[in-house]
Amino acid sequence: MKKLSTSQIATIDQQHIWHPYSSLTNPFPAYQVDSADGVRLKLADGRELIDGMASWWCVIHGYNHPTLNAALQAQAEQMAHVMFGGIVHEPAARLAQTLVEITPDGLEKVFFSDSGSVSVEVAMKMAIQYWQSLGVQGKTRLLSLRNGYHGDTFGAMSVCDPVTGMHHLFSNILMPQIFSDSPQCTFNTEWDESFISDFEEKIATHSHELAAVILEPVVQGAGGMRFYSPHFLKRVRELCDDHNVLLIADEIATGFGRTGKLFACEWAGISPDILCLGKALTGGYMTLAATLCTQQVSDGICQGEAGVFMHGPTFMGNPLACAVASASIELLLASDWRARIATIQQQLESGLAPARELPNVADVRVLGAIGVIEMKEPIELARIQKEFVDQGVWIRPFGKLVYVMPPYIMGQHDLATLCDVMVSVVKNYR
């Protein structure tokens, strides 16, 4: 197949391609990437960028990793895909067993899908079908946290913050859910029961109609990059038990070490009834997600009227994706990832600290391999991103937030460059 020229790609992009969260009449610039290796993106014009985003948080081992390349190639020689209805294969079995072993206690059943948003849809359906199967009427709504974000499909949109969740345009047609205040405590705040009072009131008032609570443990991602106290999460687990409501933990962004624990639920020492995984699951190589649940949930669903769970994606359990996911998890667990994340956290804390003194900065916060500079006013994406690219880094801000979630393999020199450029660009941004 003849290779397209740079100008041909640009023309096709301008005329036909719709990028995420973008306009076709007033599009953001799209930078052509020719290749990627380690922590660097190589642009078509020859420039190289240090990638501070890990391609929306999933490329934890960096690009073009030989171990993941080999896993993908070996599996492709056996079979790239086969339907999952009535069929099982080693890659899916191996990955399911691994996920059961490494996730919080009690999560024993694994349902594969092909994206994080779909894993949330699956979790919501599990919760609702569970109560229907038990013959409990009316438990069809979910309680979510403001500033939360859970994806772009319709069910997922309904549990995102109605304002910061980017989906207010659809509010009139989404299933109405219940929202409590976002946690008013930072990660290290000394605990006060007042922090949980609004949530406690909401779950007590609406427990008769709630199938589940859904939240992002400890880190609220695209809804604001907010870090909150693990004790809040612990109290949520207790209140769900008290009021007979299931707990769904959305660890799509936080899973596989990003916060300094393998899963963010571990900060609070809790296990959810249903767990959503995605993003870093395959190390950024393939699109794959998983929804895990307890045997209590699966038994409740399967003993009900339908006798089966009513969901089945075409690419469920894709062998290529499962094989590379297992290789990615094995690669992570075989490394000293905890020490690496701790080092990244320390360097982000010191490297971003100067931004705290800037008059246009509202806050600087770091947790694990997540570093955030929150501005006082929204930034102009196209302009600030060009400044980052011109200085050799790839950072994709949104709203008031300039943040990084680098690959875990990033070295000290590259991470220092990333921090220096972030602070410099923010300092000079007017």
Long-range contacts of 332-337 (CB under 8 A, 24+ apart): 332/60, 332/61, 332/256, 332/257, 332/408, 333/102, 335/408, 337/257, 337/408
Give me the amino acid identity at 426: V
Say how far apart CA 340 and CA 369 lie, in whole Å. Answer: 9
Catalytic residue among 2, 3, 21, 45: 21
63 is catalytic: no
Query: Residue 429, class by beta-carbon neighbours within 10 Å (0-12 exposed, 13-18 middle, 19+ buried)?
Result: middle
155: phi then psi, degrees, rounded to nearest 5: -65, -45
125: phi then psi, degrees, rounded to nearest 5: -65, -40
Q: Of 244, 166, 168, 240, nearest to 200 (Cα)? A: 240
Reading the block at residue 158, the tokens are 């309904």
Q: Of 132, 143, 156, nearest to 276 (Cα)? A: 156
Say how far apart CA 190 and CA 291 lie, in whole Å. Answer: 33
**Total H helices, total E strands in the chain:** 13, 16
DSSP state of 356: G
- Give the DSSP H/E element, type plus range, for residue 329: helix 319-334
Catalytic residue among 114, 250, 273, 414: 250
DSSP state of 254: T
Look-up of token digits 């649940």:
293
Catalytic residue among 149, 228, 285, 403: 149
158: phi then psi, degrees, rounded to nearest 5: -65, -25
Contact criterion met (CB below 8 Å) for 208 and 258 = no
Geometric angle at alpha carbon 151, from 147 and 157, rounded to 5°? 75
21 is catalytic: yes
Catalytic residue among 139, 261, 279, 400: 279
What residues does 394 pair with on adjacent strands? 51
Compute and round to an integer the Cα radius of gyration of the chain.
22
DSSP 75-142: HHHH-S----TT---HHHHHHHHHHHHHSSTTEEEEEEESSHHHHHHHHHHHHHHHHHHTT--S--EE
Geometric angle at alpha carbon 27, from 407 and 370, rounded to 5°? 20
Distance of CA 51 to the CA centre of its chain: 17
Residues noted as catalytic: 21, 149, 250, 279
